[in-house]
């Protein structure tokens, strides 16, 4: 069966799949696709239902497994109807036997200013997931790749200068590269767009757009995967990468990201490093296609890279074609990662088939 990027995809009940900004967990022969459940209209950009989960054995036929994490309007809940709950990802912890979900959480009423991460856990892949906590990560910890001279809180004059800049989340050329993480040292680092990555040695990492989106952080999770372990690095300060999606191939870590332009698609970026701790380098735009497709990344923004189980060098690049005016109509752009001149890149296909891409 053909995959048609950008068209409406239906579940096995014939209902359009509702799992945006998502990620896929492969567990004991089944793929579990988690994503933001969106409703119609602009209001759909906020959480009204929760995290939707679908299951499949072949990546084509997706069974609706319901709502894995449900918004909760009980007193004290951190995930009430109308909060912002984005880019959920789930990983499995072999030590604890728990399924651990992380997502970007913006508490009610604060726009995107909260920049928090939230964690929920479950005993089975499809859930139900129980909200555990939300946090700002790595409070009181300096990044590992930071020269000694920057390891101090902001001076009074830096604080004034920073306040005058009125930082939001959008790029600008005079973004101060070594300031925002120092401002947040005591309260913990901001995290908006995010992904999780489990390495071959079982260590798990949280990668997130921090510092008012200006800088990515790569942060090790603790043994339970529910907290930061207190080791992290900053990468690409001032480059405003969003939408991180990571894969490991040919002994390197490869990171697909976008530029930072809200819901509007922009030009994607590829970076890599020989170790997750760096050194990281940028390679440019990984999208191949027509001029417009190259410029706007097939009208989409990365969400996740899915290794296809049992196939060598087989990865699916998953991206979202957002429809912010009618959020429920957002589309999925899944394309095979192809390798050219030693780089993983993404080539447009009107339609494609897993079997022909990666014969058994
Ligand atoms: C771009 C991010 O990638 C999305 O997840 C979402 O946060 C939008 N920005 C909001 O404008």
Dihedral, 194, 46, 315, 9 alpha carbons, nearest 10: 180
Average the pLDDT over 267-280 and give the result.
98
Dihedral, 102, 276, 308, 51 alpha carbons, nearest 10: 10
pLDDT of residue 67: 98
For residue 241, pLDDT over 90 is answered with yes
For residue 55, pLDDT over 90 is answered with yes
Query: What is the CATH classification number for the domain harbouring 276?
Result: 2.115.10.20
Measured by CA distance, the residue closest to atom 9 of ligand 1 is 262
For residue 326, pLDDT over 90 is answered with yes
Residue 197 lies inside a defined structural domain of this protein: yes
Mutate to test the pocket of ligand 1, among 47, 84, 193, 327 (most ligand atoms within 8 A of CB): 193
Residue 12 lies inside a defined structural domain of this protein: no
Average the pLDDT over 52-80 and give the result.
98
Average the pLDDT over 309-315 and give the result.
96
pLDDT digits (tens, 9 = 90+) for 122-171: 999 999 999 999 999 999 999 999 999 999 999 999 999 999 998 989 99
Q: Which helix (H) or strand (E) holds 207?
A: strand 204-210
Mutate to test the pocket of ligand 1, among 171, 259, 262 (most ligand atoms within 8 A of CB): 262
Ligand 1 pocket at CB < 6 A = 21, 86-87, 193, 242-243, 262-263, 301
pLDDT confidence tier of residue 1, bands split at 50, 70 and 90: confident
pLDDT of residue 306: 98
With 0-12 / 13-18 / 19 or more C-beta atoms within 10 angstroms meaning exposed / middle / buried, residue 81 is middle
pLDDT of residue 360: 79
pLDDT of residue 64: 98
Residue entry with tokens 């296809």: 308
Residue 4 lies inside a defined structural domain of this protein: no
Strand order in the sheet with 98-106: 84-93, 98-106, 116-122, 130-135
- Structural domain containing residue 252: 20-357
Mutate to test the pocket of ligand 1, among 21, 195, 256, 263 (most ligand atoms within 8 A of CB): 263
Mutate to test the pocket of ligand 1, among 38, 44, 86, 213 (most ligand atoms within 8 A of CB): 86
Cβ distance 258 to 269 under 8 Å? yes
Give which of 31, 21, 8 is closest to 87, Cα–Cα: 21
Task: Express the helix, strand and coil content of the chain in percent, nearest 5 each.
Answer: 10, 40, 50
For residue 215, pLDDT over 90 is answered with yes
pLDDT confidence tier of residue 106, bands split at 50, 70 and 90: very high
For residue 43, pLDDT over 90 is answered with yes
Share of the chain above pLDDT 70, in %: 100
pLDDT of residue 197: 98
Whole-number Å distance, alpha carbon 193 to ligand 1 midpoint, is: 7
Residue 220 lies inside a defined structural domain of this protein: yes
Residue 146 lies inside a defined structural domain of this protein: yes
Whole-number Å distance, alpha carbon 115 to ligand 1 midpoint, is: 12
Residue 9 lies inside a defined structural domain of this protein: no
Residue entry with tokens 């921090």: 210
Q: Please state the domain count of the chain.
A: 1
Average the pLDDT over 184-195 and give the result.
98
- DSSP character for 62? -
Whole-number Å distance, alpha carbon 213 to ligand 1 midpoint, is: 11
Whole-number Å distance, alpha carbon 263 to ligand 1 midpoint, is: 6
Residue 219 lies inside a defined structural domain of this protein: yes
Q: How far apart are CA 278 and CA 166, in angstroms?
A: 31
Predicted TM-score (pTM) of this structure: 0.98
Write the DSSP assignment of 133-147 as a string of letters: EEE-B-TT---TT--
Whole-number Å distance, alpha carbon 21 to ligand 1 midpoint, is: 9
Whole-number Å distance, alpha carbon 264 to ligand 1 midpoint, is: 9
pLDDT of residue 317: 98
pLDDT of residue 193: 98
Q: How far apart are CA 310 and CA 90, in angstroms?
A: 20
Measured by CA distance, the residue closest to atom 1 of ligand 1 is 262
Residue 187 lies inside a defined structural domain of this protein: yes
Across the chain, what does the average pLDDT equal?
A: 97
């Amino acid at each position: 069966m053909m995959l048609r990027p950008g068209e409406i995809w239906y579940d096995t009940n014939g209902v359009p799949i509702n799992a945006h900004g998502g990620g896929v967990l492969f567990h004991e022969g089944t793929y579990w696709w988690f994503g933001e459940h969106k409703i119609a209209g602009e209001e759909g950009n906020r959480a009204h239902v929760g995290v939707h989960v679908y299951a499949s054995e072949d990546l084509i036929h997706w069974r609706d497994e319901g709502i894995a994490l449900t918004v909760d309007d009980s007193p004290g809940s951190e995930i009430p109807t109308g909060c912002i709950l984005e880019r959920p990802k789930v990983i499995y912890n072999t030590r604890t036997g728990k399924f651990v979900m992380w997502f970007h959480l913006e508490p009610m009423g604060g726009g995107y200013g909260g920049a928090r991460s939230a964690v929920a856990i479950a005993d089975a892949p499809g859930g139900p997931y129980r909200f555990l906590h939300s946090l700002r990560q790595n409070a009181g910890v300096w990044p590992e790749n930071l020269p000694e001279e920057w390891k101090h809180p902001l001076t009074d004059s830096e604080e004034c200068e920073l306040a005058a800049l009125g930082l939001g989340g959008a790029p600008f050329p005079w973004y101060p590269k070594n300031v925002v993480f120092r401002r947040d040292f005591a309260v913990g680092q901001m995290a908006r767009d995010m992904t999780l990555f489990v390495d071959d040695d079982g260590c798990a990492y949280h990668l997130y757009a921090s510092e008012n989106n200006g800088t990515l952080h790569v942060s090790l999770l603790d043994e339970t995967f529910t907290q930061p372990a207190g080791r992290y690095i900053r990468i690409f300060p001032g480059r405003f990468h969003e939408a991180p999606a990571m894969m490991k191939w040919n002994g390197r870590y490869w990171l697909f990201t976008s530029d930072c332009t809200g819901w509007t698609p922009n030009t994607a970026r590829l970076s890599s490093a020989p170790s997750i701790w760096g050194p990281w380098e940028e390679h440019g735009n990984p999208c191949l296609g027509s001029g417009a497709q190259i410029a706007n990344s097939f009208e989409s923004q990365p969400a996740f890279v899915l290794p296809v189980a049992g196939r060598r060098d087989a990865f699916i690049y998953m991206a979202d074609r957002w429809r912010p005016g009618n959020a429920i109509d957002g589309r999925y752009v899944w394309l095979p990662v192809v390798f050219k001149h030693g780089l993983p890149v993404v080539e447009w296909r009107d339609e494609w088939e897993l079997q022909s891409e990666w014969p058994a």
